[in-house]
Chains A and B, each alone.
Chain A
Amino acid sequence: MIDRIASFGRSSIGFVISIGRAGQFLGGVLSGIPRPVTGFPLLLKQLYSVGVLSLAIIVVSGLFIGMVLGLQGYTILSDFGSEAAIGQMIALTLVRELGPVVTALLFAGRAGSALTAEIGLMKATEQLSSMEMMGVDPLRRVIAPRLWAGFIAMPVLAIIFSMVGIWGGMLVGVEWLGVFEGSYWGNMQASVDFRDDVINGVIKSIVFGFVCAWIAVYQGYDCVPTSAGISSATTKTVVYSSLAVLGLDFVLTAVMFGNF
């Protein structure tokens, strides 16, 4: 029994230490203001690999999720004879919740794991070390552009996800099931507020982008530089990012939409 308590204590201490290290790491990354001349092309390159290359999976999943929402919403709402509210339902779920959350989960799987593996491999092949020995701080040169890219790409991806989803919902609801197009958009416009719903959704995805990118680069930078270490770091990235996104989503929702 005492042993269990002790081991729990040990793991708690380990947890706190790793949080502290991650915080220190973040401080190191963000401490230097990126030099625009050299920094910008690096950022563009990372935006490409983190953002543009994630676009396909985001668009496809957005489309399907919108279509499923349309189908499910129609079945449920037609019981009350209010299938015209389908647009409102799809738009609110996507803009407030599914857009930011599902994008973040997909992002963690697609881009986060790639970031971790890439940085882990750079560490294992001593590229980070050699950069350090050349008098170049890898935190600024390698880590910072990746962190910023994740931070910028996530909201953009989430917005695109919501838009595609709403369009997919319209495909099913309006084109297939025959909801009147005017009431699809009309109900939507009446109930979705730009500041309260769209902007809050964007804020959520900015937070998620930051957290996912942070976890991904930290796990890569901190991994044990062997193939086993890299693979376990990649797994950790996906697991921790997903948990962090879902947990934070609850907190943010409570703050933004809860009435207290």
Chain B
Amino acid sequence: MEAKDLKVRAMGLGSYISLKDVVFSRSGRRIFNGVTVDIPRGKITAIMGPSGSGKTTLLRLIGGQLRQDSGSLTVDGHAISELRRKELYKFREKMGMLFQSGALFTDLSVYENVAFPMRVHTKLPEDMINDIVLMKLEAVGLRGARKLMPSELSGGMNRRVALARSIALDPELIMYDEPFAGQDPIGMGVLVKLIRDLNSSMGLTSVLVSHDVKESLSICHYACIIADGKVIGTGTPEELQAHPSEQVQQFLNGHPDGPVPFHYPSSAATEDFGLAGGAS
């Protein structure tokens, strides 16, 4: 029903991405078991969930790198899984994705990395590419680092360059895969600011996948929590804080035990310790 709420609101803004009853399994393991999410246009939506809940998989489904087994997935009205290969590649020019590791091309300099999408997809003259690259690098505060190689950058700078690269073609949608993982507090602050600025200045639809509850909730307009292949809660940050479900509360507040058990499923402890029969 929360999904419905969000959907109603999303309709008002026009939802950009919509997933309906998406089922996906990989190597025999069911990762999504009927996920329904609507992601509104021009807003920051955070997808949160424990590690291994398939958050990154969700991004790959949206990007068309994986295909769902059943259910429907549309981005800007196009059913991604039905696009032909060529159309898909064309469509991806409208998407930007920031990978967890940055994924800069290690054999190209910072400048060339940012220029790469333009060189491939556009026939812009060199001086124009130069202007755009410097502009994008300026936006992430790394114009001075344009001559460095990716190996000479710190982890946070790496991610900022990757961000500059993913917005090089002015996409409509940008997906962040764990942008805060492994960042120091300053780097995290910089990224939070950048994500928020990009969203407000360019009107990008942003999808943020993370398990850093505090940072995510501080910048997102809507959030959605996934666990066990299902959406367990959606809403604005305030709504989620007041969410009645125990599972949601456990995740948001980080309680060690709760509906998600502390113990990995196992046989009764008595058996493992060789007390079988005697103790019971």
Chains A and B share a contact (CB less than 8 Å): yes
**Chain A residues within an 8 Å CB radius of B106:** 121-122, 125, 127
- Across-interface contacts of A129 in B (CB, < 8 A): 65, 99, 103
Residue count of chain A within 8 Å CB distance of chain B: 16
Distance (whole angstroms) from the CB of A225 to the closest CB of chain B: 11
Question: Which of B89, B90, B103 has a CB less than 8 Å from the CB of A130?
Answer: B103
Chain B hits for A136, CB < 8 A:
89, 117, 120
Does B89 lie within 8 Å of A126, measured CB to CB?
A: no
Select B103's contact among A38, A125, A137, A141, beta carbons within 8 Å: A125
| Contact partner, B97, options A38, A125, A133, Cβ 8 Å | A133
Is B99's CB under 8 angstroms from A130's CB? Answer: yes
Within 8 A of A (CB), among B223-264: none
A175 CB-CB contact with B under 8 Å = no
Q: Determine whether A36 belongs to the interface, using a CB cutoff of 8 Å to chain B.
A: no
Residues on A with beta carbons closer than 8 Å to the beta carbon of B166: 134
* Residues from chain A with Cβ under 8 Å of B101 in the complex: 125-126
B100 at the interface (CB under 8 A from A): yes
**Which B residues lie within 8 Å of A133 (CB)?**
63, 65, 92, 95-97
Q: Please state if B99 and A134 are interface contacts (CB–CB under 8 Å).
A: no
Q: Could you say which of A129, A133, A137 has the most chain B C-beta atoms within 10 Å of its C-beta?
A: A133
User: Which residue of A126, A127, A132, A134 is within 8 Å of B120 (Cβ)?
Assistant: A134
A135 lies within 8 A of chain B by Cβ: yes
Give chain A nearest CB distance to B142 CB in angstroms: 18
Q: Which residues A120-161 have CB closer than 8 A to chain B? A: 121-122, 125-127, 129-137, 141
Chain B: number of interface residues, binned into ranges = 20 to 34
- What's the least CB distance linking B214 to chain A, in Å? 26
Docked-complex contact B63 and A134, CB < 8 angstroms: no
8 A Cβ contacts from B68-98 to A: 89-93, 95-97
Interface string of A194-216 (1 = CB under 8 A from B): 00000000000000000000000
B148-177 vs A, Cβ < 8 Å mask (1 yes, 0 no): 000000000000001000100000000000
**Alpha-carbon distance A233/B226, docked complex (angstroms):** 35
Contact B120 A130 (CB under 8 A): no
Chain B nearest Cβ from A197, distance in angstroms:
40
Q: How far is the CA of A125 from the CA of B106 in the complex (A)?
A: 10
CB-CB contacts below 8 Å: A30-70 with B: 38
**A125-B106, A127-B105 are contacts. A134–B65 as well, Cβ < 8 Å?**
no
Task: Output the nearest chain B residue to A134 by Cβ-Cβ distance.
Answer: B117
Q: Is B29's CB within 8 Å of the partner chain A?
A: no
| In the bound complex, CA of A126 to CA of B159 (Å) | 13
Say whether A135 contacts B121, CB under 8 Å.
yes
- Nearest chain A CB to B215 CB, angstrom units: 22
Q: In the complex where A126-B100, A126-B101 touch, is A134 in contact with B116 (Cβ < 8 A)?
A: yes
Q: With a CB–CB cut-off of 8 A, which chain A residues contact B117?
A: 134-136
A130: B residues at CB distance < 8 A: 97, 99, 103, 162
B91 / chain A contacts, CB cutoff of 8 Å? 135
Which residues of B sit under 8 angstroms from A135, Cβ to Cβ? 89-93, 117, 120-121
* CB nearest to A127 among chain B residues: B103
Q: Considering the chains assembled together, what is the distance between the CA atoms of A131 and B92 in angstroms? A: 10
A122: B residues at CB distance < 8 A:
106
Set of chain B residues within 8 Å of A132, measured between Cβ atoms = 63, 65, 92
User: For B162, what are the chain A residues with a Cβ–Cβ distance below 8 Å?
Assistant: 130
CB-CB < 8 A to B97: which residues of A?
130, 133
Assess whether B65 is in contact with A137, with CB atoms less than 8 Å apart: no
How far apart sit A133 and B171, CA to CA, in the bound complex (Å)?
12
Expressed in whole angstroms, the Cα–Cα distance for A131 and B65 within the complex equals 11
For B65, the chain A residues whose CB sits under 8 A away are: 129, 132-133
The distance in angstroms between the C-alpha atoms of A209 and B104, with both chains bound, is 30
Residue in B closest to A128 when the chains form the complex, CB atoms? B103
CB-based nearest A residue for B92: A135
For the complex, give the distance between the alpha carbons of A125 and B103 in Å.
6
How many Å from the CB of A187 to the closest CB on chain B?
49
Residues of B at the A interface (CB closer than 8 Å) are 63, 65, 89-93, 95-97, 99-101, 103-106, 116-117, 119-121, 162, 166
12 A-B contacts (beta carbon < 8 Å): A122-B106, A125-B101, A126-B100, A127-B103, A129-B103, A130-B99, A130-B103, A132-B65, A133-B65, A134-B166, A135-B90, A135-B93
**New contact pairs (11) apart from A129-B103, A132-B92, A134-B120, CB-CB < 8 Å:** A126-B99, A127-B104, A129-B65, A130-B103, A133-B63, A134-B116, A134-B166, A135-B89, A135-B121, A136-B117, A141-B120
6 nearest A-B residue pairs (beta carbon): A130-B103, A126-B103, A135-B92, A133-B97, A126-B99, A135-B93
